[in-house]
Structure 1
């Protein structure tokens, strides 16, 4: 009776045990036969990324991936299209005949299997990440207000410098005008003082000697003549 009850009891622990019947080594062989060789590490990444439909279960050698053969065919077709392989090569890939394979019945560990995010969840998660990366509207408004304030301050500073330049230009023009007026005044004074200064640059005529000075000079000349005689 116990044996009959055990035989009639359905396999509820692993309802899809026969679905995930390929090991990673067998999956790698199928990829190689299709002209798309992949190593075990690449296949593990495909499993984690969801490109291959697989489960991870505890075996005597540790955690092991078991792959759905249908997902292997889909992945090979997609990769073949990406790599531009001809239709003959793509259709020449041997479909795995898994009818004679029996997957080992291993009780799954409840704490090992973790639900993988579906493609839809990954797609919906991308906009959320973009929204988190986008700065809030309040921060953007505050940044725009700060930039506008700095632009206004720069414009005021430029206007102030222009006003200062105009003031300095006016002061320089006034100084030039005063210098011109000073030159006119100096020239007028020179013209007024020219008669008093001996007509400007003309040589001054000799001043006539007084009477006693002329007598002394004549006596000196006569004395010099006697001495020479």
Structure 2
């Protein structure tokens, strides 16, 4: 069956529904939004700067009086850069704050819940479950965690059932048990002997046949 990751990269990025793809798309959206905001701010400042430069100077005559008048009307470069840096700092603070709050709300709480659940399992509380959530990113993680817990409980139940079956069986005869252990020892001795022979053969130098 074909997967979305087998197609073209951009098309796969749009079709893929995994956690990584969603985070990549969100990062692209946030970057694009930030680019649009900064471009719009730059356009506004540029428009205002041009308006201050050409206000009352059309048609512009390049004579000494006009140049002096334009120089008087041009705002100081330090003031323009100061305003621009101030606005960009405010925008950066707002964007960073919004992204930080988003990450804490969307990613922080589920990760902490998963950490607490793993700590409980480490303490022996094997009946720990993660609460079902409508969070798309962590819904599949929650489902996988709960299914793993079910598998653990199933394996524990199987082990208990096997142990009970062994306990219910009659104890084997001592002679039969000794014979079985001897057979196992003979089998192990066989493999040990074979391995030793192979090692000896590899350690001996090759002897050429006479011509």
Normalised to the residue count of structure 2, the TM-score between the two structures is 0.30
Bigger share in strand: 1
Which structure features the higher share of helix residues?
A: 2
- The two structures have a TM-score, normalised by structure 1, of 0.28
Q: Which has the larger radius of gyration?
A: 1
